Structure 1
Amino acid sequence: MIKLHNTKMLQTLHQSLTKRIPESLKVFGSIFHINHGNPFNLEVLVDSWPDYQTVITRPQKQEMTDDKDYYTNTYHIFSKDFQKLPEILGSDHVINWKQSLTIQGCQNGLNEKISEVVAFKPVHVDYSKRVLYVIDDVLKYCTFNTSKLSISCKVKSSENVMFRSTNDNFRLSLLDISHAKLVNDNWKYGQNERSLRYIKRCLQSFPGYCLLNPEGNPVSWLIKEQTGELRMGYTLPEYRKNGFAKWIMATFMQHLQKNYVPFYGHVEEMNEQGHNLAKSVGFHVVDCNWHEWKCVPTEQL
């Protein structure tokens, strides 16, 4: 695999990946942020250049110092040639299989190839497939200038005005690092020290929106991570069924629209409320799905 460092090459690759949205979203979003300051210190690997078939983004070596931190040790994959994937992914030069790690991608068929690889590795794998949601204009990204993206937000401004008038005691705000513990304590896939460290980094690198109650405490929130995905959305139980999550999501989308930042999200298959919320603000389902493999070496179990 070849590391791409050159700014022009990374821009060319990013432009090329627009033609493969939504399947390329994980690496597309990663490279977008690499090209805009690279706050997570990621690097890009391709199997060849310029006629690449496989793209992998991963943290730079100095970032992956904790062998048990699968939040940081994350690899994002897109490939146009599944047949060669087992050979690529099986290489210890590409993926450090001695660490706990996470692999993510948005292509059906990846699971079969990754299963071929891990069959010969001393690792335990948890595979998760979820519903991928995007906005129409993200699908049309290749028709835009890559520096600009117009997002069509379904929530009308009149709805927001009405919401504000009936919820004067609540106000929108940005999350900061002091809120990381609250987010972590309520994140289904967190609630440990490594996830807390990951959430802090997300909040230091990207905006996160929340709704504050009259006492100034967050009661509903949403965060963006290093691939451009909106995640960790949560509303405290006693504040649900008030439209808070919809308001936050709509505001977040408008912020991303203003700054021409692409985004997407996923929802677990059985989460009916999550599906209804996503659709209410203009997201719709794409059939390539969202896929994740959490891999833990057997010696760490």
Structure 2
Amino acid sequence: MQILTCPAQLQRLEAALRSSLPRALPVYGAVLNINRGNPGDFEVVVDAWPDFGAVLARRRGEAPVNDSYRSLNSAFYRDVGAYRALLESPGCLRWDAAFHIFGLQDGVVTVSQDIALAKGVELEVTEYYTYLHPDPSTLSEPQLDPDVQLGALSPAHVELLDSTWPYGGNTWSRRYLHELLQRFPHLCLQGPAGDLLCWVLSDGFGAGAHGYTVPAQRRRGLMRALTIMAARRAHARGFPVYGHTATGNRGMHRLQEELGHRRLPGLCRFVLHNPGLARAEL
């Protein structure tokens, strides 16, 4: 196991991951952020260098044992055996803590299942569709209604964001959302009085994150407009335009497909290790 810290190594890794898109998207997005100032304080771990067979992207430092939001790892492998060896390497993961691993390859689940069975660790798997836009430059900047303006979110909005997020409702989720607002691009639409109408966030893996339109403002095309704006801005920064959508969220599936996003084959799976710990409060 090796943590890559040299800028030249990280640039070389970025190029290698780019050649493995779209399967490498979750790690590639994190490496893009690392190589552009590292606003999320991330690091990447490989099984070997330069001929790596597996890589994890994650936050630096140690998180509390029950904070699975901070302990979020994205994975990509060229060889599933190398991936298994990396996860079993001393110091790679805390198997007595709550943490997520996610990725677009089947081995992300099966390797965790095999190791967890041997260690007596419980797992929960959540599945998403991943959408990727092949050419965001084709998206035209939308025109907003006169009573709608583009704005920015602040820490004062965290409680509202948390209450409207299916994965919110606890101390760790609020801290996570607060950090997203501080560290990564986000957009919102506001009414004449500055009231929030709609918002979209992005995360440390370069993906679209929490998006929401308040119920009274739906069917106005606000999420459509904001999705386009966020896509154009991500593309201008050199990032892929992608995100993970719940398999049952048909409205968001339809919107993304109308805008030209393509659903990638298979599923993105988020594997939560030690879910009982993750639900323990401070």
Does the pair score TM above 0.5?
yes
Alpha-carbon distance in 2 for matches of 1:255, 1:280 = 19
Q: Can you list the C-alpha shifts for 1:97-129, whole angstroms capped at 9, x where unaligned? A: 121111111113321222111112232211012
For the residues of structure 2 that align with 1:41 and 1:232, how far apart are their CA atoms? 20
In 2 relative to 1, CA 84–257 (structure 1 residues): closer, same or farther, beyond 3 Å?
closer
- Mark the CA change 1:298 to 1:52 in structure 2 (over 3 Å): closer, same or farther: same
Question: Match for 1:78: what amino acid?
Answer: F
Query: Counterparts of 1:100-179 in structure 2 under 5 Å?
Result: 100-137=98-135, 151-154=136-139, 156-157=140-141, 160-161=142-143, 164=144, 167-179=145-157
Q: How far did residue 294 of structure 1 move?
A: 1.0
Structure 1: runs of 5+ lacking an equivalent: 138-150
Whole-Å Cα distance in 2 between the matches of residues 8 and 106 of structure 1? 26
What displacement does 1:27 show?
Answer: 0.8
Q: Does 1:246 align with 2:224?
A: yes
Contact 2:55 2:83 in 1 (8 A): no
Partner of residue 144, structure 1: none
The CA deviation at 1:197 is 0.5
Matches for 1:7-46 after TM superposition, within 5 Å: 7-46=7-46
State the distance in 1 between where 2:156 and 2:240 align. Answer: 27
Q: 5+ unaligned residues in a row in structure 2: which ranges?
A: none
Cα distance change on mapping 1:250 and 1:179 into 2, 3 Å: same
Q: Shift of the alpha carbon at 1:67? A: 1.1
Contact map agreement 1:206 1:224 (CA 8 A) in 2: yes
Question: Could you report, residue by residue, the CA deviation over 1:124-183 in whole angstroms, capped at 9, with x for unpaired residues?
Answer: 21101211100114xxxxxxxxxxxxx3343x34xx23xx2xx21111112222222211
- Specify which of 270, 274, 277 is matched with residue 296 of structure 1: 274
Q: Count residues with an aligned counterpart.
A: 279
Task: From the superposition, tell whether residues 176 and 183 of structure 1 become closer, same or farther in structure 2 (CA, over 3 Å).
Answer: same
* AA aligned opposite 1:98: D
Q: Which residue of 2 aligns with 1:145?
A: none
Q: Which residue of structure 2 lines up, in the alignment, with residue 209 of structure 1?
A: 187
Does the CA contact (< 8 Å) of 2:131 and 2:245 recur in 1?
A: yes
Choose from 72, 85, 88 the match for 1:87: 85
Cα distance between partner residues in 2 of 1:124 and 1:247: 41
Alignment of 1:184-203 (within 5 A): 184-203=162-181
Distance 1:48 1:56 in 2: 12
Contact 2:101 2:108 in 1 (8 A): no
Contact 1:3 1:43 in 2 (8 A): yes
Q: CA deviation at 1:298?
A: 5.6
TM-score normalized by structure 2?
A: 0.93
Structure 1 position 92, deviation (Å): 4.2
Give the C-alpha shift of residue 44 in structure 1.
1.2
2:176 and 2:192 map into 1 onto residues whose CA distance is 29
CA RMSD in angstroms comes to 1.7
Please identify, of 259-268 and 43-52, the stretch whose mean Cα deviation from structure 2 is larger.
259-268
The superposition leaves residues 267-288 of structure 1 with CA deviations (integer Å, 9 ceiling, x where unpaired) of 1112110101111222111114
Q: Which residue does 1:4 correspond to in 2?
A: 4
State how far apart, in whole Å, the 2-side matches of 1:89 and 1:65 are: 17
- Look up the match of 1:65: 63
* Partner SS for 1:136: coil
Farther-moved stretch of structure 1 (256-265 vs 269-278): 256-265
Q: 2: distance between equivalents of 1:111 and 1:105?
A: 9
Moved more, 82-91 or 9-18: 82-91
Q: 2:161 aligns with which of 183, 192, 200?
A: 183
